[in-house]
Amino acid sequence: MGADNTAASKARKRTDGRIARGNQTRQLILRHAVDVASVRGLEGLSLGQLADELELSKSGVFSLFGSKEELQRATVRAAIAIFLSRVVIPSRRGPDGVAKIRHLCERWLDYSRTRVFPGGCFFYSVSVELDARPGPVRDEVAAARANWRSFIEQLIEDARAAGQIRPETDRRQLAFELTAFMETANGESLLNGDDSAYGHASTAILNRLRTAATDPELLPDAP
């Protein structure tokens, strides 16, 4: 009985070790995949090419994902996790009300400016690629973008409930405008290699929020 327990324990440890190594390899691949996709697009991902670039076994990489579509969807989910950690979660620690909306937007601009992904905003890049290609991968990206917009809208609604946003403000319209400022800066920076667009976007966001605020003094006069 004691020998059987020892053998079972060793087998469990070997299994646990394989699972842990598999998870580590999967995370390594996905961190590289999000960078690649932000530049080449999700269609530019290849299981074989990723294996070559990371010097991994091709059969091992295929066993972790199984298909290109599975890899693409996992890459989108990995990008969401990185985005949440760099933009959304830090913004929750900021001040409440209209200042929190501005803080969130500044976090987004910083995320794009510092190239958390080499191709700028991951979701901006792959949205352009997939907007006319129906399917599960596009659905993943569309859901991520919808959740992002809904989060901004909720912050606007929270600020209105706190008496800091004018009651007549259309939260969907305001969220649309703020998103447009951010994405325009991202696109201009990538296309022209000029980061001045981020300063313009920061100013535009601040001015728009000051017009929507019940008290403009809740926000600074300049970025």
pLDDT digit string, tens, across residues 120-134: 999 999 998 998 889
In a domain, 222, yes or no: no
Residue 162 lies in a domain: yes
Dist. CA 92–CA 78, nearest whole Å? 21
Phi, psi angles (nearest 5°) of residue 132: -110, 20
Burial of 46 (0-12, 13-18, 19+ CB in 10 A): middle
Q: What is the pLDDT of residue 8?
A: 47
Q: What is the pTM of this model?
A: 0.87
Structurally, how many domains does the chain consist of? Answer: 1
List, in sequence order, every residue forming a beta bridge with 213; answer none if it has no partner.
165
Inside any domain, residue 48: yes
Residues 67-77: pLDDT tens digits?
Answer: 999 999 999 99
What integer best gives the mean pLDDT of the chain?
Answer: 90
Query: Are 83 and 122 in contact, with CB atoms under 8 Å apart?
Result: yes
Residue 223 domain-assigned? no
Domain that holds residue 66: 2-216
pLDDT digits (tens, 9 = 90+) for 36-67: 999 999 999 999 999 999 988 888 888 889 89
Burial of residue 211 (CB within 10 Å: 0-12, 13-18, 19+) is exposed
Does the pLDDT value for residue 13 go beyond 50? no
136 falls in which pLDDT band (50, 70, 90)?
very high
> 221 lies in a domain?
no
* H helical segments located in 84-166: 89-91, 98-113, 122-130, 136-161
123: domain CATH number is 1.10.357.10
Q: State yes or no: pLDDT of 178 exceeds 60.
A: yes
211 is a domain residue: yes
